Amino acid sequence: MHRNIPPACADPAAEAHVWADILLRRRLLHAAVLGPTGQWLVQRTPTAPVRLLDGPAEMIRLAAHIQYRLRTEETRAR
């Protein structure tokens, strides 16, 4: 069993919150705000346009996309 792989989250909203926090702390997003309807407002940089993500699944997909992009860039740099 791999100890570094967390178990799948049963609550997508909670998982989206965790990913938003990680992306903000690592400065991979400038802003991530959960709206009252469950949509997320995200901004990559202070001058970038604000994007509207329609729920937790889209926040999780954004996090996966950013991870993929970072890993691809790391691989190219080697």
Q: At what angle do helices 56-77 and 12-25 cross, to 10 degrees?
A: 40
Q: What was the pLDDT predicted at 5?
A: 47
| 77 band by pLDDT with thresholds 50, 70 and 90 | confident
Residue 37, burial from CB neighbour count under 10 angstroms (0-12, 13-18, 19+): exposed
* pLDDT, tens digit (0-9, with 9 covering 90-100), for 41-70: 999 999 999 999 999 999 999 999 999 999
* pLDDT, tens digit (0-9, with 9 covering 90-100), for 5-37: 455 667 999 999 999 999 999 999 999 999 999
Distance CA 22, CA 27 (A): 8
Q: What is the dihedral of CA 3, 65, 11, 37, to 10 degrees?
A: 160
